[in-house]
């Protein structure tokens, strides 16, 4: 059996055994609907309140009622942005960045087609934002600003407190997509100039399909899902009880381990980068000059295709990702790396390694033993391909002449 090395924790994480264990009774035994008056309902309702408090603690919210459980990070992002547009209907302008996850990017592109004006803030070569560009973008017509905390492809961390101060000085609501940040860096939202903040449980060892949106107390927030009275009328639909319980447990564990895990994982990530930069001469780390999540490494291999590297890595049991979107079979270069003006030679050959709690130094060393031979093999093929192309061109020119 081939071994498996999972270095794709920004895509999703394994559910912790403690989390699965906490969830199970809420599928088998306490299966009531929390809205029911009888005991089955109240047992479950109390557990949801406990989970809400656990999630509130992870992001440092002042009051658990500021949290609304959602079906995903994507839903949180959509609810926040659409909610602010609905609450401020006279305003038609949104400010966001060029490097957002598709949950924000795709929605803002859609809204642009619907007649909203969107300012897409750029980043520099390291992936950093320019606060002056942000300040200049804000107008009387700006309905909201939506900016991610940590980038899913590069791990680059934006200075949310400073960004929030600029946005708040203009009285504009500020939404933060903290899907990659939660559980990886400390968050104290109550002390920050942030009005809405999205998180997603499957990025911190809980199941997929459950997330939460923080809505600062006092902010007008029209509901996104309309129907029953769940979530204080802010998100209708019978609660995903077992997953909420799992998210609460995972949040509690993530908070407990925040002082320890990111530092340990960071040492592994740094080791991986040092080893790979050394063993693969045509490689570079994208975003290395900025503050980054300690688990994420985005490495470009010059002249190569990231997807070819991934396929060969997968054959050796190593799971990573490119972070780039795949459209109809043709691979598009990453919009994040393009925004960072990564030169063409490096643009297609990006691989994202994202480490997690279960990874070991031995795995890092195994990856470092495997990657260089894959890179050499692909470099050989790409050199052959180039040679073939040149010969083909010569032959066809000769044919034309003849
Ligand atoms: N925002 C960011 C930064 C993400 O990385 C992701 C998922 O990868 C999302 C939003 C979407 O979250 P979900 O997968 O829960 O819909």
User: pLDDT tens digits, residue range 95-132?
Assistant: 999 999 999 999 999 999 999 999 999 999 999 999 99
Average pLDDT of 236-248?
98
326 is annotated as an active-site residue = yes
Please report where in the chains the tokens 């043709």 appear, as a residue: 330
| Residues whose CB is less than 8 angstroms from the CB of residue 168 and which lie 6 or more positions away in sequence, other chains included | 174, 193
| Residues whose CB is less than 8 angstroms from the CB of residue 270 and which lie 6 or more positions away in sequence, other chains included | none
CA of 286 to the centre of ligand 1 (A): 20
Long-range Cβ contact pairs of 76-79 (< 8 A, separation 24 or more): 76/177, 76/179, 76/198, 76/199, 76/200, 76/211, 76/212, 76/213, 77/101, 77/103, 77/104, 77/107, 77/146, 77/175, 77/177, 77/198, 78/103, 78/107, 78/224, 79/213, 79/224, 79/225, 79/235
DSSP code of 359?
A: -
Nearest Cα to 173, choosing from 149, 204, 197, 191? 197
Inter-residue contact 245 to 51 (CB < 8 Å): yes
Inter-residue contact 370 to 316 (CB < 8 Å): yes
- Dihedral of CA 109/110/115/116: which sign? negative
**Which residue of 78, 100, 101, 104 sits with most ligand 1 atoms within 8 Å of its CB, as the best mutation to test the pocket?**
101
Residues having CB closer than 6 A to ligand 1 are 72-74, 77, 101, 103, 148, 152, 177, 179-180, 200, 211
State the pairing for strand pair 93-97/117-121.
Answer: parallel
Atom of ligand 1 nearest to the CA of 201: 15
Atom of ligand 1 nearest to the CA of 72: 15
- pLDDT tens readout for residues 316-364: 999 999 975 444 445 689 999 999 999 999 999 999 999 999 999 999 9
CA of 388 to the centre of ligand 1 (A): 41
pTM above 0.85, yes or no: yes
- Expressed in percent and rounded to 5, the helix, strand and coil fractions of the chain are 45, 15, 40
pLDDT at 388 over 60: no
**134's tokens:** 């942000």
pLDDT at 276 over 70: yes
- pLDDT tens readout for residues 77-98: 999 999 999 999 999 999 999 9
State the pairing for strand pair 196-200/142-148.
Answer: unpaired
């Amino acid at each position: 059996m081939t071994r498996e090395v999972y270095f794709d924790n920004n895509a999703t994480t394994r559910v912790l055994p403690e989390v699965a264990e906490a969830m199970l009774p809420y599928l088998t035994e306490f299966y009531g609907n929390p809205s029911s008056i009888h005991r089955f309902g109240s047992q479950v309702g109390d557990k949801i309140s406990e989970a809400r408090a656990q999630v509130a603690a992870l992001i440092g919210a002042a009051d658990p009622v500021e949290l609304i459980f959602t079906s995903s990070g994507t839903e949180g992002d959509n609810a926040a942005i659409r909610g602010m547009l609905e609450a401020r209907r006279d305003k038609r302008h949104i400010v966001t960045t060029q490097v957002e996850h598709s949950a924000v990017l795709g929605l803002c592109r859609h809204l642009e087609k619907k007649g909203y004006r969107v300012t897409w803030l750029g980043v520099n070569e390291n992936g950093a934002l320019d606060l002056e560009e942000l300040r200049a973008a804000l107008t009387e017509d700006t309905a909201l600003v939506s900016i991610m905390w940590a980038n899913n492809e590069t791990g680059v961390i934006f200075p949310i407190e400073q960004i929030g101060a600029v946005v708040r000085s203009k009285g504009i609501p500020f939404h933060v997509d903290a899907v990659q940040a939660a559980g990886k860096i400390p968050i104290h939202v109550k002390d920050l100039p942030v009005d809405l903040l999205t998180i997603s449980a499957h990025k911190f060892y809980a199941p997929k399909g459950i997330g939460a949106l923080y809505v600062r107390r006092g902010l007008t927030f029209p509901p996104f899902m309309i129907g029953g009275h769940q979530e204080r009328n802010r998100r209708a639909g019978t609660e995903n009880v077992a997953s909420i319980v799992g998210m609460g447990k995972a949040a509690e564990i993530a908070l407990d381990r925040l002082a320890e895990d990111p530092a340990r994982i960071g040492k592994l990530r740094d080791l991986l980068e040092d080893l790979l930069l050394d063993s693969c001469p045509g490689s570079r780390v994208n975003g290395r000059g900025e503050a980054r999540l300690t688990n994420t490494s985005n490495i470009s291999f010059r002249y190569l295709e990231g997807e070819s590297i991934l396929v060969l890595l997968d054959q050796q049991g190593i799971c990573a990702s490119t972070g780039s979107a795949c459209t109809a079979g043709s691979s598009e270069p990453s919009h994040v790396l393009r925004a960072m003006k990564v030169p063409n030679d490096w643009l297609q050959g990006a691989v994202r390694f994202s480490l997690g709690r279960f990874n070991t130094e031995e795995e890092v060393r195994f990856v470092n033993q495997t990657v260089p031979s894959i890179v050499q093999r692909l470099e050989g093929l790409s050199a052959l391909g180039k040679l073939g192309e040149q010969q083909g061109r010569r032959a066809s020119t000769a044919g034309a002449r003849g």
